[in-house]
Amino acid sequence: MAHDGFSARYDLDRIHGTFSRPAHKLAGQSYVGKVLVLDTAKGGVATAWMLHEMASRGVVPLALVLNSVNPILVQGAAFGDVTLLAGFDGDITARVPHGATVEIDPARRTLRVL
Amino acid sequence: MKLNDLERAMLGGELGAAVKAAIEHQVKVGEFFGAADFVPVTQAHIMADTESLGQAGVAWLESIADDQGRVRVPTITDPRGTDFAKTAVLRHPAWIVELERRAVQAFTRLGVMMTDTCINYQTIQAPARGESVAFGDTGVVIYANSVCGARSNYEGGPSAVAAGLTGRTPRYGFHLDAQRKATLRIRVDWTPQMLNEWGALGGLIGRLAGNYWAVPLVEGLAAAPGSDALKHFGAAMASFGSTALYHLAGITPEAADAGGSRSPLSHRVGETDVKALTSAYAGEEEIDVVVFSAPQLSLYELRQLAVLCDGRRFAKPLLAVTSPQVKPDADRFGLTARIEAAGGHVLSGMCFYQSYAREIAEANGWKRLATNSVKLVNILGGYGYVPLLASMERCVEAAQSGKLPAKDQ
């Protein structure tokens, strides 16, 4: 979890599965198999392809949870079949502690901290 | 979503498996955003470098080509992942070149025109006010929406391919009148001169705007910027803020109707604020390489660069990246020869950050990169570079001396 943005091209070393942008609050940490709770989608359009590519190699987040998204993240999640949850009553990055275990129900659009 | 007869036929597979897959994807995206229906588009523009696609994306393109997919509207491409004529300069390995060739072949089978440009509004055909399009490069989208008054969302590669195949896109976001109104009002007390300054102002406004759905109305510019200035301004704004539309009071076509002029002032921006943003990329440093790219250079930018290169001999590599439409003119007018006589390289049909920037860095030993592109410095940190921002003049000086000079000449 971090109150920071998300872009697959800008923020990730997709070969090693880590956040690589030095200024990102999760720099150096692995994203593989994790539920990423972040603020908003940033950057360009490449994420639409990259989530699919990352999923094909198994170097992909388990789910993306954001306060707000742009079309690219939605298109990428749809194309790459990655779980995406966005649009909450409050700031989701303030409600989920870093490192917490969470349960997501995409159909009901709910997230529960366990 | 409400579908017409043709769209129902597409969804039912009557127009083939590729079109069915395309419209299924579009319905999924449209329903997420609550789109009421589809809007026809006149053209599509696909971002699809193979660093983004990977093997999986190229295989997907090949599969829809195998399914007899063929675009219904003029569909063009963003830069490729290499310049096939300059792979030795970039030290792109054979596997990258081969993957690019496969992607080109698949796109060609789909009927896509390989324009390989992120400045299609300068080189192919700028959309008209009110024209709905499906563009897939943030710099292209923000220019089309803001400067041309056309209508597009960010269409990522799979969605732009889908729009080409179906000739439509879900009607949400910036296809809707309500979404195009200003949401924040910014007063600018300083008007940039150089392209890197326009980029820095754009980046700052993008950072203030903060997300895709914010639409800044910018007041106070002392003069109307030209196309290249707006290119750098918008590309940086989109890069920093994921912004897709802005209005410039008295300049851009929808500013008068944007509705923000009576809103409270959200921010006041001056030269000091812009300098604060650029300070993160400043330095009088040794450099490994100079890159002019992101967006691709116009003929006029190449002309300016050629003048600066005259009489010099570079100690460090200098790469100037343009579109396949501009390059032949640059060759004809002797601009390429003047830049390359100094030791630079003019590349075509790619963009630096879309061309396996990490692999290029490792193969060439490049880490400290000087550029006048604010978009490029924002991206390359994640690829392991130390990006340095300076004017075109200072960057050319750096290519000659190996070090960024302290001040603009």
Q: What is the ipTM of this complex?
A: 0.93
Determine the Cα–Cα distance for residues B19 and B68; give it in Å rounded to an integer.
Answer: 9
Given CA atoms A59, A65, A70, A71 in this order, what sign does their dihedral have?
A: positive
Contact B1, B35 (CB under 8 A): yes
Q: Residue B141 has what pLDDT?
A: 98
At what angle are helices B50-66 and B94-109 packed, to 10 degrees? Answer: 40
Q: Which residues face B50 on adjacent strands?
A: none
State the pLDDT at residue B151.
Answer: 98
B262 — pLDDT class (breaks 50, 70, 90)? confident
The angle subtended at Cα A73 by Cα A69 and Cα A77, nearest 5°, is 125
3-class state of residue A5 by DSSP = strand
Question: Is the separation of the CB atoms in A41 and A72 below 8 Å?
Answer: yes
Cβ distance B29 to A74 less than 8 Å, yes or no, reads yes
Q: What 3-state class would DSSP assign to B109? A: helix
**What H or E segment, with its residue span, contains residue A110?**
strand A110-113
Numbered ranges of CATH 3.30.499.10 in chain B: 5-177, 282-401
Average pLDDT over residues B312-340: 98
Which of A10, A24, A71 comes nearest B153 by C-beta? A71
pLDDT in tens, B131-177: 999 999 999 999 999 999 999 999 999 999 999 999 999 999 999 99
Residue B409's pLDDT band, with cuts at 50, 70 and 90, is: very low
Q: How far is B373 from B119, CA to CA, in rounded Å?
A: 14
Give yes or no for residue B378 having a pLDDT over 90.
Answer: yes
What is the model's pLDDT at position B153? 98
Taking the C-alpha atoms of residue B376 and residue B118, their distance in angstroms, rounded to an integer, is 14
3-class state of residue B279 by DSSP: helix
**Residues B80-112: pLDDT tens digits?**
999 999 999 999 999 999 999 999 999 999 999
Q: Which fold has domain A5-113?
A: Glucose Oxidase; domain 1 (3.50.30)
Q: Tell me which residue of B186, B203, B278 sits closest to B239, measured CA to CA.
A: B203
Is residue A74 within 8 angstroms of chain B, CB to CB? yes
| Average pLDDT score, chain B | 96
Kindly identify which residue of chain B lies nearest to residue A85, measuring between CA atoms. B32
Q: What angle do CA B182, B183, B188 make, to 5 degrees?
A: 75
B168-170 and B38-40 strand pairing: antiparallel
Residue corresponding to tokens 């990259």: A50
At B304 the pLDDT is: 98
- pLDDT above 70 covers a percentage of chain B that reads 99
Cβ-Cβ contacts under 8 Å, B156 against chain A = 45-49, 71-72, 75-76, 79
Q: Give the model's confidence band at B408: pLDDT under 50 very low, under 70 low, under 90 confident, else very high.
A: low
B377 three-class SS: helix
Q: Is the pTM of this model over 0.90?
A: yes
Give B147's DSSP letter: I
Q: Compute the average pLDDT of residues B352-363.
A: 96
3-state secondary structure of A91: coil
Please write the tens of the pLDDT for every residue from B194-240: 999 999 999 999 999 999 999 999 999 999 999 999 999 999 999 99
Quote the percentage of chain B above a pLDDT of 90: 96
Min Cα–Cα distance to chain B from A30, Å = 14
Three-state secondary structure call for residue B362: helix
State mean pLDDT over B17-39. 97
State pLDDT tens for residues A44-62: 899 999 999 999 999 999 9
Q: What is the pLDDT of residues B301-311, one digit of tens each?
A: 999 999 999 99
User: Which residue among B47, B173, B211 sits closest to A46, beta carbon to beta carbon?
Assistant: B47
Supply the pLDDT for residue A28. 95
Among the partner residues B32, B52, B212, nearest to A41 by beta-carbon distance: B212
> Nearest-5° angle of CA B140, CA B143, CA B149?
125
Strand partners, A111: A104
| Superfamily covering domain B5-177 | Aconitase, domain 3 (3.30.499.10)
Rounded to 5°, angle at Cα B361 from B356 and B367: 135
pLDDT band at B261 (very low <50, low <70, confident <90, very high): confident
Whether a cis peptide bond, with omega within 30° of 0, leads into B127 is no
Option in A24, A44, A79 nearest B138 (CB)? A44
pLDDT (0 to 100) of residue B18: 98
C-alpha span between B94 and B71 (Å, rounded): 30
Mean of per-residue pLDDT scores for chain A: 94
pLDDT tens digits along A12-50: 999 999 999 999 999 999 999 999 999 999 878 999 999
CB A1 within 8 A of CB A97: yes
Among residues B247, B236, B243, which one has the least CA distance to residue B278?
A: B236
| Cβ neighbours around A30 below 10 Å, total | 14
Contact call for residues B211 and A40 (beta carbons, < 8 A): yes
What is the rounded CA–CA span in Å between residue B378 and residue B376? 5
DSSP B67: T
- Cβ of B54 within 8 Å of Cβ of A47? The answer is no
How many other CB atoms are found less than 10 A from the CB of residue B131?
16
In angstroms, the CA B317 to CA B291 distance is 8
Q: Round to whole Å and give the CA distance between B239 and B259.
A: 25
B282-401: which CATH architecture?
A: 2-Layer Sandwich (3.30)
**Domain locations along chain A:** 5-113
Closest CA to B245 of B197, B174, B170: B174
Residues with Cβ within 8 Å of residue B279, at least 6 apart in sequence: none
